[in-house]
Amino acid sequence: MKVAVLGTGIMGQGVARHLADDGHDVTAWNRTREKAEPLAASGVTIADTAADAVAGADVVLSILFDGDAVEEVLRDGASGIGSDAVWVQASTIGVAATQRVVDVAAELGVDLVEAMMLGTKKPAATGALVMLAAGDADLIARVQPVLDSMGAKTVTAGPSVGDGTKLKLAANAWIASITAATAQSIALAEALGLNPQLFLDAIDGGQSDTPYAHVKGASMIAGDYPAQFALDGLRKDIGLMLDASAGTDFDPTLLRSLGAVYGAASDAGFGSDDIAAVRTGFRGTGSRD
């Protein structure tokens, strides 16, 4: 299929490269062209504008940072999109912004579904994401070959665009929690004078174990945080979770605490590092100078 990828950050680069490797005809666009140009070596066509990128595409993927960016690019790209194309909103932008995008798509006559990407840099680059789709079933069926290429499986969250966003926020709340919990136990072990590896050894193979703790825990112990999922991205998502839950009977106490510890790590200079750098949000690690 002919696919346009709009946004070539950490996730967009991996997705565009993998789709091209998997036999799709891929065109990519990024506001800063230099960030997209390395994809040309993988057979991806680089476009100068969003409208140029979507011209002739069967599927358009928007993989951008926030709702304002998605809305702006949707308006810019709509002038070039064909009547048979389906726009797949894959950016984590929250419930309110998603509704704005739905309204703009309706105004512009663009067929829209969403497919949130559950996973980080490596799964994006290897087609091993979990895709959280929502929207009209016939439109999802039309883009399914691309979703199958991007992900190990697709979970359909519901019939309305926005249902996938809600599920993604719930899933990312879990990621935020277990990453911070791993950091807390490692920090506590160190504060009590223990080798923090002992914590990982203690949970290894038990009912409370998760492979994720060992992957992120190793990074925390090494103090090395190459970005798979940028900490500021997850910090943003925690804010979206709080916004979405306002007015419901959900108690946001834990989310607020998570926001504080990820915020402390970001304020210490680790916002562009991997989420494992939340370890620096606990006392005793200092700031990056």
- What 3-state class would DSSP assign to 204? coil
Tokens of 164: 């996938």
Q: Is it the case that residue 151 has pLDDT exceeding 70?
A: yes
- What 3-state class would DSSP assign to 282? coil
* Residues 71-127: tens digit of each pLDDT: 999 999 999 999 999 999 999 999 999 999 999 999 999 999 999 999 999 999 999
Q: Is it the case that residue 225 has pLDDT exceeding 70?
A: yes
Q: Is it the case that residue 286 has pLDDT exceeding 60?
A: no
Q: Is it the case that residue 289 has pLDDT exceeding 80?
A: no
* Residues 123-134: tens digit of each pLDDT: 999 999 999 999
By CB atoms closer than 10 A (0-12, 13-18, 19+), residue 109 is: exposed
Helix (H) or strand (E) run with residue 212 in it:
helix 211-222
Q: Is it the case that residue 147 has pLDDT exceeding 80?
A: yes
Fold that domain 2-159 belongs to in CATH: Rossmann fold (3.40.50)
Give the max Cα distance, the chain: 64
Contact 39, 8 (CB under 8 A): yes
* Residues 171-198: tens digit of each pLDDT: 999 999 999 999 999 999 999 999 999 9
Q: How far, in Å, are 44, 157, 187, 219, 287 from residue 16 at the CA level?
A: 7, 24, 37, 27, 35
* Residues 29-81: tens digit of each pLDDT: 999 999 999 999 999 999 999 999 999 999 999 999 999 999 999 999 999 99
Task: Spell out the domain ranges in the chain.
Answer: 2-159, 166-281
Q: Is it the case that residue 285 has pLDDT exceeding 60?
A: no
* pLDDT value for 204: 98
Kindly report the average pLDDT of the chain as a whole number. 96
* pLDDT value for 38: 97
pLDDT above 70 covers a percentage of the chain that reads: 98
- Beta strands (DSSP E) in 49-127 are 59-62, 86-89, 111-118
283 pLDDT band (50/70/90 cuts)? confident
287 pLDDT band (50/70/90 cuts)? low
Domain 166-281 in the same topology as domain 2-159: no
* pLDDT value for 246: 97
9 pLDDT band (50/70/90 cuts)? very high
Q: Is the pTM of this model over 0.85?
A: yes
Distance of CA 184 to the CA centre of its chain: 24
Contact 51, 76 (CB under 8 A): yes
Contact 20, 26 (CB under 8 A): yes
CATH 1.10.1040.10 fits 166-281, yes or no: yes
